[in-house]
């Protein structure tokens, strides 16, 4: 179903190898283990002991939980919101009292019914596995590999641009109404030297639309994945669907000027979609929905199956209410690993003097939070706050700046810091990890995005208070590289000219 729904666009690895095979192996081993255990106990005559039936019923909770996760994901309406309702679990408890009492009083009959249900579910399981295999085979393994990159031009630009996009960073939280006690020295320091906009608006409220809009310099109205390496989009000027990879973009403009280009990012498969326009490209996938998650690196079968056991267990409804169980730990652990990979590649790119344009698209402060601002460390076991990861944004900006300063490139680099969209509090409020300090900070419009542009050789800043759409970024970058935009007043003039 995952592949048939065309969601393979978001996968970094071939889902047949990374997801389907480990899940098939796990389900077969688990089901055969239950039947083998039943048969062994029957031959040893343990089946006459009630405790045996109780243990068997306990073992059936795992496939029942996995089935409940699958049902929630496959439902035609939003069952997740229903499960999160404060009335759901009291109602579920009341509805389950009678069956639970019957099971406790009649464990022998209940375990035999569960065994029969498992037995008769085999045809259904077989059908699901065949569908998954068939869908995954729609695309060959090679379709998930990155495409060939553009040939390096090896010229050294006098002025270069480093464009940093922090995913879901809110202007309201970072600057306009920053919560008290939250220090962001690197953002504040950059603001003092930059064209600083207080009312910038993103072209869309989700990365799927916003990043193509920013890279193309045109508003993308809709975007539909079509296989691992294609995104069909509709533009204001061209409502009919067209392949994103076929359209000229800001990287093509920069290469036409004779400069190399690079991208380090997440979510979109940049290495499969924009490879022809890039000299260097590193990217990672986002965390996929429960049941189809993938590791950041390929795994052999045994570790992949073991990992899948943990992910299936923590995906069960209400599992997070058990002491010592942290359902989000896998997501946060993978996010930390992927951020470290992107951070290392970003430092490589921003210190390469031959790169005329480097786009760094990082998955912070997008939830889940992975940073503890009080301790200055990453966290996986305990949920964090969006505000923690805003501080992580500041830390990351400081590290990239120091890397450029140590390479002697800071003074001749134009640095543009913005976000693909603001903080979507309506999406995250009510989730199990929503925290009190997030609630306190969220009662304002948090969808505006920061927009700071530090130009080479300039130390005086300019505060710009008029509203504009960050689609202007493509034209701004080309103006900087052509030498047409050399100070903050020129940035303001470009925005107000509407020549974008």
Which residues make beta-bridge pairs with 419?
Answer: 166
More confident residue, 183 or 140: 183
The percentage of the chain sitting over the pLDDT mark of 90, rounded to a whole number, equals: 57
Contacting residues for 410 by C-beta, under 8 A, at least 6 apart: 401, 404
CB 187 within 8 A of CB 451: no
Residue 321 belongs to what domain range? 160-497
Same domain, 326 and 183: yes
| pLDDT tier at 206, thresholds 50, 70, 90 | very high
Domain boundary pick from 84, 111, 144? 144
Q: How much is the pLDDT for 3?
A: 43
433 or 374: whose pLDDT is higher? 374
Same domain, 302 and 450: yes
Q: Are 378 and 283 in contact (CB under 8 A)?
A: no
Highest mean pLDDT among 40-54, 178-192, 374-388: 178-192
**Mean pLDDT of all residues in 445-470:** 94
Which residues, at least 6 apart from 131, have a Cβ–Cβ distance to it below 8 Å? 1, 4
Whether the pLDDT of residue 77 is over 50: the answer is: yes
What's the confidence (pLDDT) of residue 121?
62
Could you tell me if 375 and 262 lie in one domain? yes
Say which residue, 109 or 84, is predicted with more confidence.
109
Q: Are residues 128 and 189 in the same domain?
A: no
How many domains are contained in the chain? 2
The Cα diameter of the chain in Å comes to: 87
In CATH, what number is assigned to the domain containing residue 334? 3.40.720.10
Task: Assign 1 a pLDDT band (cuts: 50, 70, 90).
Answer: very low
pLDDT one-digit tens code per residue, 230-251: 999 999 888 899 999 999 999 9
Tell me the C-alpha distance between 230 and 217, whole Å: 19
Q: Which of 240, 195, 201, 196 is nearest to 222 (CA)?
A: 240
Cα–Cα distance for residue pair 15/141, rounded to 1 Å? 9
Last residue of a domain, which of 96, 113, 144?
144
Residue 300 lies inside a defined structural domain of this protein: yes
Q: Do both 138 and 164 map to the same domain?
A: no
Same domain membership, residue 193 and residue 98: no
Do 447 and 467 contact (CB within 8 A), yes or no? no
Among 298, 311, 294, which residue's Cα sits nearest to residue 26? 311
User: Which pLDDT does position 372 carry in this prediction?
Assistant: 95
Q: How many CB atoms lie within 10 A of CB 59?
A: 17
Is residue 353 in some structural domain? yes
Domain presence at residue 1? no
The pair phi, psi for residue 39, each rounded to 5°, is: -65, -40
Q: Which residue has the higher pLDDT, 224 or 383?
A: 224
CA-to-CA separations, 470 to 281, 310, 344, 453, 467, in angstroms, rounded: 23, 41, 27, 12, 10
- Tell me the average pLDDT across 80-104: 69
pLDDT reading at 287 higher than 60: yes
Which residues are paired to 280 by β-bridges? 262
Chain Cα centroid distance, residue 79: 22
Q: Contact at 8 Å (CB) between 413 and 456?
A: yes
Q: Based on the domain organization, do 115 and 248 belong to the same domain?
A: no
More confident residue, 170 or 71: 170
**Can you tell me the mean pLDDT for 413-418?**
98
Residues 140 and 166 in one domain: no
Same domain, 320 and 367: yes
In a domain, 86, yes or no: yes
When pLDDT is averaged across residues 346-364 and rounded to a whole number, the result is 98
Phi, psi angles (nearest 5°) of residue 462: -140, 125
> Is the same domain home to 118 and 181?
no
Same domain, 184 and 131: no
Split at pLDDT 50, 70, 90, the class of 130 is: low
* DSSP state, residue 148: P
Q: Is residue 464 part of a domain?
A: yes
Give the residue from 144, 169, 197 where a domain finishes: 144
Q: Give the DSSP letter string of 233-289.
A: EEESS--S-EEGGGS--HHHHHHHTT-EEEEEEESS-HHHHSGGG-SEEEEE--PPP
- 278 touches 148 (CB < 8 A): no
Asked which of 20-29, 153-162, 380-389 is least confident by mean pLDDT, the reply is 20-29
Residues 136 and 168 in one domain: no
């Amino acid at each position: 179903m995952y592949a048939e729904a065309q969601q393979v666009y978001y996968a970094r690895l071939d889902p047949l190898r990374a997801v389907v095979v480990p899940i098939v192996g796990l389900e077969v081993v688990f089901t055969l283990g239950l039947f083998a255990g039943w048969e062994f106990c029957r031959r040893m005559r343990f089946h006459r002991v009630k405790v045996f039936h109780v243990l068997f019923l306990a073992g059936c909770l795992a496939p029942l939980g996995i089935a409940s996760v699958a049902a929630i994901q496959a439902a035609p309406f939003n069952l997740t919101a229903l499960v999160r309702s404060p009335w759901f679990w009291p109602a579920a408890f009341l509805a389950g009292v009678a069956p639970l009492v019957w099971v406790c009083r009649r464990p022998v009959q209940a375990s035999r019914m569960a065994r029969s249900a498992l037995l008769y579910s085999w045809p259904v399981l077989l059908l699901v596995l065949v569908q998954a295999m068939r869908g995954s085979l729609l695309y060959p393994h090679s379709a998930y590999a990155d495409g060939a990159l553009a040939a390096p031009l090896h010229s050294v630009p006098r002025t270069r641009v480093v464009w940093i996009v922090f995913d879901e960073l809110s202007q309201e939280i970072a600057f306009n109404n920053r919560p008290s006690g939250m220090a962001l020295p690197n953002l504040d320091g950059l603001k003092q030297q930059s064209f600083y906009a207080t009312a910038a608006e993103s072209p869309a409220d989700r990365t799927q639309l916003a990043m193509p809009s920013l890279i193309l310099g045109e508003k993308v109205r809709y975007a539909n994945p079509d296989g691992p390496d294609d995104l069909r989009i509709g533009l204001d000027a061209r409502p009919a669907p067209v392949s994103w990879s076929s359209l000229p973009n800001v990287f093509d403009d920069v290469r036409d000027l004779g400069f190399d280009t690079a991208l380090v990012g997440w979510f979109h498969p940049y290495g499969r979609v924009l490879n022809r326009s890039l000299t260097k490209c590193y990217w990672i996938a986002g965390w996929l929905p429960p049941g189809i998650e993938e590791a950041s690196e390929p795994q052999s079968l045994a570790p992949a199956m073991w990992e899948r056991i943990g992910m299936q267990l923590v995906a069960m409804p209400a599992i997070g209410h058990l002491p010592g169980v942290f359902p989000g730990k896998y997501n946060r652990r993978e996010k930390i690993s992927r951020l470290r990979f992107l951070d290392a590649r970003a430092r490589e790119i921003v210190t390469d003097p031959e790169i005329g344009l480097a786009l760094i698209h990082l998955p912070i402060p997008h939830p889940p939070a992975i940073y503890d601002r009080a301790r200055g460390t990453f966290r996986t076991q305990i949920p964090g706050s969006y505000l923690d990861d805003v501080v992580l944004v500041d830390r990351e900006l400081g590290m990239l700046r120091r890397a450029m300063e140590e390479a002697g490139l800071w003074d001749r680099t134009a640095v543009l810091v913005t976000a693909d969209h603001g903080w979507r509090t309506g999406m995250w409020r009510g989730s199990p990890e929503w925290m009190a300090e997030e609630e306190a900070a969220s009662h304002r419009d948090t969808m505006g995005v920061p927009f700071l542009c530090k130009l080479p050789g300039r130390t005086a800043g300019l505060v710009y208070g008029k509203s504009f759409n960050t689609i202007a970024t493509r034209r701004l970058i080309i103006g900087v590289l052509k030498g047409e935009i050399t100070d903050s007043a020129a940035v303001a003039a470009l925005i107000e000219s509407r020549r974008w």
